[in-house]
Chain A
Amino acid sequence: MSFMPKALLLLASLGLAACQNPDRYGSGDGGAGGPGGAGGSGYIDTNGLGDPSDPRSIAYFNQTVGDRVLFLVDQSTVSDQGRQILNGQANWLNQNPGYAIIIEGHADEQGTREYNLALGARRAASVQQYLLSQGVAGTRMRTISYGKERPIEVCSTESCYSKNRRAVTVLSVGAGS
């Protein structure tokens, strides 16, 4: 089974490189940063995400289906709104079996490093459980927690914290192989 972050997937698809041991945070623009993340990405060929109007494209998954769900303070329960997004993700994944996913759990900065790592893992697992219940094979999913290490918004107010308390579904190749 091979999990690759999006930036490397793109490189691989362009025939440039492949890597067995990807650096997960160095490619964080695809996941932790994501669309709308601060500054965007400087090196991802956005064409490689595909045409956002193509329902089979990564761009479509990220933008239209929605690649992330948000959580309340210290909570890991998926909200009603979150469930709608995850229903869409599950449908998309079931229709596009060529992809595996890494679910990244994150926390805001209000909390200690250790607790936030554990909390991020809880959030990622909660998304994984829900996707499993919607028929996405467990072999296609993997989780990781970044705790408070990778905020997408940097201010120290609730408007930023609410966006940082998130679980992001990052597509990669090698589904269930």
Chain B
Amino acid sequence: MTFTRRSFATTMLAGAAMIPAMARAQDGQPPRINITGTIEAMPIAVPAFIDEGGAGDLARNLASVVSSDLDGTGFFRTIAQNAYISRIQGFDGAISYEDWRTINARVLVVGAVSASGDRITVKFRAYDVSNGQQLEGAAMQFAGTRAGWRRMAHKVADVVYSKITGEGGYFDSRVVYVSESGPKNARLKRLAVMDYDGANVQYLTDSSSIVLAPRFSPSGDRLLYTSYETGFPRITLMNMSNLSRQTLAEQPGTMTFAPRFSPDGSSVVFSLERGGNTDIYKMNLSSGQTQQLTNAPSIETAPCYSPDGSRIVFESDRTGGSQIYIMGAGGGEGQRISGGAGRNSTPVWSPRGDLIAFTKQHQGRFHIGVMRTDGSEERLLTSSFLDEGPTWAPNGRVIMFTRETEGGGGQASLWSVDITGRNLKQIPTEGAASDPAWSPLLP
């Protein structure tokens, strides 16, 4: 799917916006959420998009996905459609700001959609209601196939979210995960991929072999995961365009697992077990050349590169329970960063580079936490019988993870939480699900 996008906003609408803007100049501030402070959800209005021909249900559905994306962050609250006083008559029509102020909307999103055969065109503008003007830069147009309509809605929401929070967007992204079925002692697992919000599920493998912990390549075009397809755990590389797959790092008598791409996508860092001892290795994907990065009798696993590729964070049980260490990308012993109580494992570097998400196990409970890269300011975001395996949204703001319930009927599900610990929620999936991995923001 391809999108053409262009900013078309600045030349239109200038006359209509000027007078109200000046009249309320003392308000001054554009709508802005400072997401480091205490947050009161910002009320917004997202009327059904205008049908400019052949759009049908899309006009309403687009608005509904935009609302759902924004509401889902916990930073916004969409005002119910039946409270709206004004109807949006046309995409270029004047905005009756007073009507939107009356219902307390801070931001108004106006969209339009037209369809011709399988092609649809979506455009939108967002308005700063208080100041009676268009939100600068919050306007865009997309064209693509009808099947890609949800992506267009996600892109609209990403622009609005970015403008108001100052953070990068993350709605137009996918999540690969393991879909689970069957009883706990004979679980069937297969790879699946979905939109970040659980829609558009596509299965990538059947459930004839155990598959674990998929990871996206930095451009989202390939996956790495651990598969038992050969009879033994092996790293597998899948091409997303045709779902072809190949086994990597095949060395008889060894087990390979916990793979992740380097930030440039050219190599893989992973764990290799030989004779009961697990160390971290790196493999160049074009040459197949393998290099050992750690050499210790303890378990070294769950490696993850820093976004600039210069360092690798990993876990090791060299002092007893698992703790988190950082080494240079060339390998070495590493420097321990995790302190405090319990066992700390599965470190994952934030795409922003500032934080490391991890799994903590302490006093019979599991937690997802974040810490700075020097181990300071550890903050636990969740607590349950079993939470594990964090993955970062492309903007480094939200973490998704696996939560498994207790006992014989225990089931895994996917959850997300903001890095402040707010907005914990379950991601809807068809059945049980585990091991999520977030894609980069789609192009």
Interface set of A (CB-CB < 8 Å, partner B): 3, 21-26, 28, 32-33, 37-38, 74, 76, 109-115, 117-119, 121-126, 128-129, 142-146, 149-156
Contact = CB atoms under 8 A, between A and B. Distances in A.
Contacts, number: 123
Contacts of A114: 213, 257-258, 271, 301-302, 315, 345-346
A74 B319 CA distance: 13
B408 interface: yes
Given A112-B302, A122-B276, A24 B408 contact: no
Q: Which interface residue of A117, A123, A124, A145 has the most chain B CB atoms within 10 A?
A: A117
Contact of B273 (A113, A118, A154, A155): A118
A32 B186 CA distance: 9
A33 B187 CA distance: 12
B12 to A, nearest CB: 53
B317 A115 contact: yes
Contact of A113 (B232, B253, B388): B388
A111 B343 CA distance: 9
Q: Bin chain B's interface residue count.
A: 35 or more
B361 interface: yes
B230 interface: yes
B306 interface: no
A154 B185 contact: yes
B340 interface: no
Contact of A121 (B230, B273, B321, B404): B273
A143 B321 CA distance: 24
A144 B209 CA distance: 14
Contacts of A151: 184-185
Nearest to B213: A113
Contacts of B275: 125
24 contacts: A23-B208, A23-B209, A23-B231, A25-B228, A38-B183, A74-B317, A109-B410, A112-B302, A112-B361, A112-B389, A113-B213, A113-B389, A114-B301, A114-B315, A115-B322, A117-B301, A118-B273, A118-B299, A121-B273, A144-B232, A145-B273, A149-B187, A151-B185, A154-B408
Given A110-B361, A142-B253, A118 B184 contact: no
Contacts of A144: 231-233, 255
Interface string B289-300: 000000000010
B304 to A, nearest CB: 11
B255 to A, nearest CB: 6
Contacts of A126: 276
A80 B276 CA distance: 20
Contacts of B209: 23, 25
Interface string B105-116: 000000000000
Contact of A125 (B228, B276, B301): B276
A24 B230 CA distance: 9
Nearest to B314: A114
B354 interface: no
B443 interface: no
9 tightest Cβ-Cβ pairs between the two chains A and B? A125-B276, A154-B408, A118-B278, A118-B299, A154-B184, A156-B406, A121-B273, A122-B276, A24-B231
B212 interface: yes
A121 B278 contact: yes
Given A113-B388, A115-B315, 17 more contacts: A3-B231, A23-B208, A38-B185, A109-B410, A113-B213, A114-B257, A114-B271, A115-B302, A117-B271, A118-B299, A122-B277, A144-B233, A145-B255, A151-B185, A154-B183, A154-B185, A156-B385
Contacts of A112: 302, 322, 345-346, 359, 361, 388-389
A144 B231 CA distance: 9
A29 to B, nearest CB: 9
A165 to B, nearest CB: 15
B407 interface: yes
B435 interface: yes
Contacts of A22: 231
B231 A33 contact: no
A113 B391 CA distance: 14
A24 B317 CA distance: 28
B17 interface: no
Contacts of A110: 361, 364
